[in-house]
């Protein structure tokens, strides 16, 4: 089972399927005035279906090394002036360690904005043996995940692997047809020769899914460009971690996991670590479920609703006014650091873009995403911020 640049394709076409549909069922009344409802932010929802059979270790390694680069690329996109929420789901399929009754499929993570969770689960994946049932895993992802209803959201499935696309009892054409009925588009990434992927029905799957077919070199590793800004960004990352205040039953564990995912990114490369740090300066990196600063940013009255025992030990004996002062201070600190990281991140990317022009362009995840996303964004009415 071959591997590698699957995530390039994964989010590269994420901009190509946006449409809007508005209706007014009762022209005599305006329900938005009588019953005002806050509109949800636009979402980019992506389900990654990863073949973890046999020798697909390179595929998993590629996912680990490019997650934060993809996040940072997506955050340059704006829809109606706003940054869309990014939700990612993970499935693995084709692993003999999974149940035969489940068609050797496992949902690793539901659609989630918890990017640390996605990173954690990617780093926990292991490969083993395999029967790869593409139709079955597409069906599971389309039926099990909580997909957004509004038509202006992008709902995308990306399946990566090799071997024949038509294996298993579930007909891939029927599974894809059912996904399309809910506005979910299917893209395929064949780990191997382009013609072979076509012969093994991977392109046919993408054609049925109104998506894109990609093939990737399973043996190619990511080449990183070290920049003069990486060390400064690393220092900023260490500072920004100190602005997080864990609360609730998950607070302590989630804060620890944040640091664990820093280490995981750092093990891949210094460049990957810098990409993760840049992600922390973005609006899509949010942790309101366990961090007081993000929680108060989301809900100004949050502190009055949190019980004393849900607070970290060092805050439990503080007065409400003192806690508010601390949270306000940490909020300002974080905003200052995020601004600094953002500026360093822009200079870093400019440096990478310049250096990349000096050598032969690599068929690499980052290059493909930057090129294709910008192209699709312009076609679909998105703006791209540098």
> 217 falls in which pLDDT band (50, 70, 90)?
confident
Domains of the chain: 6-19+43-223+362-384 (3.40.50.410), 230-356 (no CATH)
CA 333 distance to own-chain centroid: 26
pLDDT for residue 377:
59
Tokens at 314, concatenated: 């060092």
Q: What is the mean pLDDT of residues 279-295?
A: 95
Q: What is the mean pLDDT of residues 228-252?
A: 96
Q: Is 61 left (phi over 0), alpha (psi -120 to 50) or beta?
A: alpha
pLDDT for residue 373:
57
- Distance of alpha carbon 98 from alpha carbon 133, whole angstroms: 13
pLDDT for residue 55:
78
Residue 151 has pLDDT above 90, yes or no: no
pLDDT for residue 265:
96
Q: pTM (2 decimals)?
A: 0.84
Give 77-106 pLDDT, tens digit per residue: 888 888 889 899 999 999 999 999 999 999
pLDDT for residue 208:
95
pLDDT for residue 361:
62
User: Could you tell me which residues come within 8 angstroms of residue 199 by beta carbon, excluding any fewer than 6 positions away?
Assistant: none
Q: What is the mean pLDDT of residues 171-176?
A: 97
> 366 falls in which pLDDT band (50, 70, 90)?
very low
- Distance of alpha carbon 271 from alpha carbon 290, whole angstroms: 28
pLDDT for residue 356:
83
Between residues 130 and 10, the one the model is more confident about: 130
pLDDT for residue 374:
60
- Is residue 45 helix, strand or coil? strand
pLDDT for residue 87:
92
Residue 27 has pLDDT above 90, yes or no: no
């Amino acid at each position: 089972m071959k591997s590698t640049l699957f995530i390039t394709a994964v989010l590269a076409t994420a901009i190509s399927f946006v449409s809007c549909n508005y209706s007014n069922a009762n022209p005599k009344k305006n329900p938005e005035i009588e019953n005002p409802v806050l509109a949800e932010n636009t979402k980019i929802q992506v389900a990654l279906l990863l073949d973890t059979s046999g020798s697909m270790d390179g595929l998993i390694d590629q996912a680990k090394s490019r997650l934060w680069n993809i996040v940072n690329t997506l955050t340059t996109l704006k829809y109606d002036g706003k940054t869309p929420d990014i939700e990612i789901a993970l499935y693995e399929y084709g692993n003999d360690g999974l149940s035969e009754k489940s068609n050797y499929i496992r949902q690793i993570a539901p659609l989630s904005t918890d990017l640390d969770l996605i990173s954690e689960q990617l780093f926990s994946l292991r490969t083993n043996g395999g029967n790869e049932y593409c139709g079955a895993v597409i069906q599971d992802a389309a039926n099990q995940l909580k997909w957004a209803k509004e038509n202006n959201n992008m709902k995308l499935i990306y399946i990566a692997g090799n071997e024949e696309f038509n294996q298993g009892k579930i007909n891939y054409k029927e599974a894809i047809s059912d996904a399309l009925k809910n506005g979910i588009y299917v893209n395929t990434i064949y780990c191997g020769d382009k013609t072979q992927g076509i012969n093994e029905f991977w392109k046919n799957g993408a054609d049925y899914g109104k998506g894109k077919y990609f093939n990737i070199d399973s043996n190619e590793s990511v080449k990183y460009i070290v920049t003069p800004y990486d060390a400064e960004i690393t220092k900023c990352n260490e500072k920004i971690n100190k602005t997080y205040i864990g609360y609730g039953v998950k607070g302590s564990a989630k804060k620890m996991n944040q640091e664990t995912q820093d280490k995981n990114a750092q093990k891949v490369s210094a460049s990957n670590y810098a990409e993760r740090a840049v992600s922390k300066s973005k609006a899509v990196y949010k942790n309101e479920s366990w961090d007081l600063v993000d929680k108060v940013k989301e809900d100004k009255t949050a502190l009055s609703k949190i019980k004393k025992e849900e607070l970290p030990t060092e805050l439990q004996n503080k007065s409400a006014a003192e806690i508010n002062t601390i949270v306000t201070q940490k909020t300002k600190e974080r905003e200052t650091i995020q601004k600094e990281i953002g500026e360093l991140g822009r200079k870093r990317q400019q440096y990478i873009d310049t250096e990349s022009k000096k050598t032969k362009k690599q068929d690499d995840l980052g290059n493909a995403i930057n090129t294709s996303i910008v192209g699709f964004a312009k076609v679909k009415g998105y703006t791209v911020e540098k």
